[in-house]
């Protein structure tokens, strides 16, 4: 089964994370990579939503964790066996696939139950009860299939067997049967004629060369005539296996798993049951196959490509259990470990999309208008319309090239984009802090730094008390040493930095914050990674 490759940016994604994931996914597809999807690790903010809607791009798939799931196991695929199929059909599937247990399906492919070899064994004792087919409402079509024979003439008047099963050895010369009954006879012409005369609804003639039948078929036949190459005694033994498998299916205390179940939970269940094999169902409830305890050591890790981040704490839950294929980033190289060598492209530019454009160029591929527009949006957002100190000449030149492909005026579109994300109307304190929040390990300290770009300072300061309360709750909830919120305004030309935490002395040393203040305005400060984090790192060394 083919597995998807997921491309995503950091948690609490900004415009660069979302748009770079979409753009790099497009490039990989253009280069021939199959089963690759753009994804996101959180809610899309207003600014990013504006860009997606402007360029008519769908939102990437939301994923909450990348931990191994049942669907990542190399499970057994088994040919479907339905409730109406014969027991022999189930047996054949089990032996052909060397399975001790198989799932049984309803006609809509939903799980009806399971059967094991021991459940089937009891039907192999042969015909001991003449009413067995009738009692189990056996479809007539199961009979020739199980006997590997053919209906050579006539028709049984009912869809299911409604009568008893006889043999010519159990009736007399003048016995009269009903048209619901079946009779089994050998190849002796006298016995065949006796069977034809008894009035049964179906005659089963054994010991036949199916290519050269050695008896005359009446014209027209008044009943169904089935011929089989099986011997008389084997036919008697086999016919009870025509009963529908639904009659022996086990559906009580059934244990099954779904493809999106996490393996940590599945392991616990598996290790606390005597069952060895379990059906697995997809998100629509349809059966996909079987897993066993041995599959717990045979797992296909999810494959991922990281854009706009390379720190474990900024990535999806379970990232350490994934197979990282590539990293495309413009931040410092941090602490994500990889099990194998990966393609790593990291450059000191203002935006991940700038690097992705260079990758397009290196492969001589021009992005379409939609993708160019999204990449432009990422650059304008991350560089704050080229005012951030992280902005490089490469960012500006590439943004201009992308604006031409996207067909927009770079300054008009950039102002609209930034403006769309700056309104704080209706935004709660918790939402504001989580709009673009990143977690850092600086020395021995756990630090959270949020950033919001806005020109709506009035709304912000109306929320100031609620913001500080939420920052304190965040500090306790995530065991933080320091929590910062950057409120950046490119019109005023700087950032108001709000500070909470037991290690606030780091901010006092780094930014000249007075002990009596809970915030400070930092003129010409726009960049978290270049103007905030480095100064905090320097403070830890004091």
Topology of 429-539 in CATH? Answer: Diaminopimelate Epimerase; Chain A, domain 1 (3.10.310)
pLDDT digits 0-9 by tens, 283-316: 888 888 888 877 776 677 889 999 999 888 888 8
**Angstrom distance (rounded) from CA 22 to CA 528:** 24
Residue written as token pair 């309803």: 106
Q: What is the pLDDT of residue 128?
A: 63
Window from 87-96, 175-184, 250-259, 434-443 with minimum mean pLDDT: 250-259
Q: What is the pLDDT of residue 64?
A: 87
Window from 91-95, 202-206, 247-251, 493-497 with minimum mean pLDDT: 247-251
Q: What is the pLDDT of residue 66?
A: 84
Q: Is there a shared CATH topology between the 139-242 domain and the 429-539 domain?
A: no
Tokens linked to 522: 């930092």
Query: What does the buried/exposed string (b/e) look like for 443-455 if buried means 16 or more CB atoms within 10 Å of the residue's CB?
Result: eebbbbbbbbbbb
For the chain, domain boundaries: 5-68+302-422, 72-121+247-297, 139-242, 429-539
pLDDT digits 0-9 by tens, 353-393: 999 999 999 999 999 999 999 999 999 999 989 988 889 99
pLDDT digits 0-9 by tens, 161-174: 999 999 988 888 78
Query: What does the buried/exposed string (b/e) look like for 73-97 if buried means 16 or more CB atoms within 10 Å of the residue's CB?
Result: bebbebeebbebbbbbbbbbbbeee
Q: What is the pLDDT of residue 2?
A: 63
CATH of 72-121+247-297, one of 3.90.1570.10, 3.40.50.150, 3.10.580.10, 3.40.50.300: 3.10.580.10
Tokens linked to 254: 């059934």
Q: Which CATH class is domain 5-68+302-422?
A: alpha beta
Q: Using an 8 Å Cβ cutoff, are 47 and 421 in contact?
A: yes
pLDDT digits 0-9 by tens, 137-167: 999 999 999 999 999 888 999 999 999 999 9
- CATH superfamily membership of 139-242: HprK N-terminal domain-like (3.40.1390.20)
Torsion of CA 343, 344, 350, 354, to 10 degrees: -20
- Residue 122's pLDDT band (boundaries 50, 70, 90)? low
Three-state DSSP at 152 gives strand
Give the C-alpha distances (Å, rounded to integers) separating 426 from 323, 460, 463, 524. Answer: 40, 11, 11, 28
Residues of the chain above pLDDT 90, percent: 48
**Angstrom distance (rounded) from CA 528 to CA 332:** 12
């Amino acid at each position: 089964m083919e597995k998807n490759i997921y491309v995503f940016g950091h948690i609490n994604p900004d415009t660069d994370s979302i748009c770079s994931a979409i753009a790099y996914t497009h490039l990989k597809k253009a280069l021939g990579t199959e089963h690759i999807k753009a994804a996101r690790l959180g809610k899309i903010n207003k600014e990013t939503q504006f860009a997606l809607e402007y360029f008519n791009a769908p939102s990437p798939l939301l994923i909450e964790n990348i931990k191994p799931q049942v669907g990542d196991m190399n499970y057994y695929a088994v040919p479907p066996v339905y409730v109406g199929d014969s027991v022999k059909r189930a047996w054949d599937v089990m032996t052909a696939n060397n399975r001790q247990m198989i799932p049984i399906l309803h006609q809509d492919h939903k799980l009806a139950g399971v059967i094991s070899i021991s459940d089937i064994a009891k039907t192999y004792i042969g015909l001991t009860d003449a009413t067995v087919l009738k009692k189990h409402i056996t479809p007539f079509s199961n009979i020739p299939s199980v006997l590997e024979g053919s209906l050579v003439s006539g028709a049984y008047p009912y869809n299911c067997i409604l009568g008893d099963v006889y043999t010519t050895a159990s009736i007399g010369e003048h016995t009269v049967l009903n048209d619901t009954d079946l009779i089994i006879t050998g190849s002796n012409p006298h016995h065949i004629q006796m069977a034809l005369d008894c009035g049964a609804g179906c005659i089963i003639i054994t010991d036949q060369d199916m290519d050269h039948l050695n008896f005359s078929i009446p014209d027209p036949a008044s009943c169904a005539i089935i011929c089989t190459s099986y011997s008389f005694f084997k036919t008697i033994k086999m016919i009870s296996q025509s009963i529908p498998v639904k009659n022996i299916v086990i559906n009580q205390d059934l244990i099954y798993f779904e493809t999106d179940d996490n393996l940590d939970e599945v392991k616990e269940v598996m290790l606390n049951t005597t069952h060895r094999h379990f059906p697995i169902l997809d998100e629509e409830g349809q059966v996909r196959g079987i897993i066993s305890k041995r599959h717990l050591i045979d797992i296909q890790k999810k494959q991922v490509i990281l854009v706009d981040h390379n720190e474990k704490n900024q990535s999806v839950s379970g990232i350490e259990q994934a197979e990282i294929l590539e990293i495309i980033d413009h931040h410092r190289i941090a602490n994500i470990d990889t099990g194998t060598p990966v393609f790593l492209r990291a450059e000191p530019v203002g935006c991940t999309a700038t690097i992705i454009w260079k990758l397009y160029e290196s492969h001589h591929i021009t992005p379409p208008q939609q993708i160019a527009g999204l990449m432009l949006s990422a650059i304008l957002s991350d560089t704050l319309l080229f005012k951030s100190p992280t902005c490089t000449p490469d960012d500006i030149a590439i943004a201009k090239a992308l604006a031409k492909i996207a067909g927009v005026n770079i300054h008009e579109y950039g102002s609209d984009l930034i403006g769309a994300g700056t309104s704080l109307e209706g935004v709660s304190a918790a939402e504001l802090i989580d709009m673009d929040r990143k977690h850092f390990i600086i020395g021995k300290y756990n630090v959270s730094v949020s950033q919001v770009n806005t020109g709506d300072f009035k709304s912000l300061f109306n929320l100031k008390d609620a913001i500080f309360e939420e920052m304190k709750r965040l500090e306790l909830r995530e065991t933080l040493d320091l929590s910062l919120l950057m409120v950046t305004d490119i019109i005023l030309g700087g950032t108001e930095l709000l500070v909470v935490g037991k290690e606030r002395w780091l901010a006092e040393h780094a930014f000249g914050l007075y002990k009596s203040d809970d915030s400070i305005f930092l003129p010409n400060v726009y960049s978290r990674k270049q103007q905030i984090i480095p100064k905090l790192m320097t403070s830890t060394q004091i």
